[in-house]
Amino acid sequence: MSKILDGKLIRQRILDSLKPRVEALTKSHRAPGLAVVLVGHDPGSEVYVRNKIKACAELGIHSEKITPPESVTTAELLAIVDGLNNNPEIDGILVQMPLPKQVDSRAVLEAVAADKDADGFHPTNVGHLVADRPGPRACTPAGVMELLRQYDIQVAGKNAVVVGRSDIVGKPMALMLLHANATVTICHSRTSNLAEVCRSADILVAAIGRAAYIRREFIKPGAVVIDVGMNRVPDPSAASGTRLIGDVAPVAMAEFSSYYTPVPGGVGPLTIAMLMSNTVALAERRLLS
């Protein structure tokens, strides 16, 4: 029978483990500081940022929210980031994606100081990930690895398939699994015989951004299925008129897997927990070294 990997439970364990570290920093120096830059009024982004600020408050992390208008220019955003880079009270900086079309997103992300990069997206930190050196890691895949670790799911020697090649999830996920001694295959929407490749996976990570794209013929019986997808689909029976569904067909995932992450409640809660973990680690590096 399939077992659910409870992201909410592991999230709370992570936050509980961070509390004494935050208290120690606050007592000896100051509270860790996280700045979040939220451009415009995208509803999804506003929810994410609100949850991040809430997690900071729960842990005693100092947080600042900067909210430039939708019309902001690249130069104006770069100036905001530069100010945060030079703010001694801030240890971690997060620029909430997506940014408006007129903004050079790459330039803004790369302007964040590598030692304040709470998201782990800066090229320097990506390089550290490739070389398996210490540094902030992309939060969602880092949360997946923590989930596997806490449920004692063996990764070494397993065949892992990652569906999706984004810089935010797919690529760093593949690298983290590789460093944990899995044999890793990266797939995407143009992969030939995608279902066949996925069916070879002992650990299947779906991060392709298409609702219920991974069906029963993609899943090897007994596989561990990690569904990173969060897709809003119409649902007239729901109060909001929509419901959240992952990249894996939920019934097939529950029927064929040995362990699986539900949507919602699986990977999602871990992303913010790992952001908090990155922020605390960055503060420790700055204040205790």
Q: Which residue has the higher pLDDT, 71 or 233?
A: 71
Q: Please tell me which residue in 91, 117, 119, 247 is annotated as part of the active site.
A: 119
**Tens of pLDDT along 223-239?**
999 999 999 888 888 88
Mean pLDDT of 81-86: 98
pLDDT at site 87: 98
Which domains occur in the chain, in start order? 30-114 (3.40.50.10860), 139-268 (3.40.50.720)
Give me 267's structure tokens: 């990977």
Q: Is 119 a catalytic site residue?
A: yes
Q: How many residues would you count in the chain?
A: 289
Among the ranges given (12-26, 196-210, 234-248), the one the predictor scored with the smallest mean pLDDT: 234-248
Q: Please tell me which residue in 96, 158, 202, 220 is annotated as part of the active site.
A: 96
Contact assessment for residue 103 and residue 73, using Cβ atoms and an 8 Å cutoff:
yes
**Is residue 241 scored above 90 in pLDDT?**
no
**Tens of pLDDT along 183-208?**
999 999 899 999 999 999 999 999 99
Contact assessment for residue 119 and residue 136, using Cβ atoms and an 8 Å cutoff:
yes
Question: 3-state DSSP call for residue 34?
Answer: strand
**Is residue 5 scored above 90 in pLDDT?**
yes
pLDDT at site 134: 95
Would you give the distance in Å from CA 162 to the centre of its chain?
15
Mean pLDDT of 38-57: 90
Q: Is 16 a catalytic site residue?
A: no
Within 13 Å, how many C-alpha atoms sit on residue 150's CB side?
19
pLDDT at site 161: 98
- Cβ-Cβ contacts under 8 Å for 216 (sequence gap 6 or more): 249, 252, 255, 256
Q: Is 96 a catalytic site residue?
A: yes
Mean pLDDT of 21-37: 98
Please state whether beta strands 183-187 and 159-163 pair in parallel, antiparallel, or not at all (unpaired): parallel
Average pLDDT taken over every residue of the chain:
96
63, β-bridge pairs: 34
Between CA 85 and CA 76 the distance in angstroms is 14
Record the pTM. Answer: 0.95
Between CA 272 and CA 51 the distance in angstroms is 8
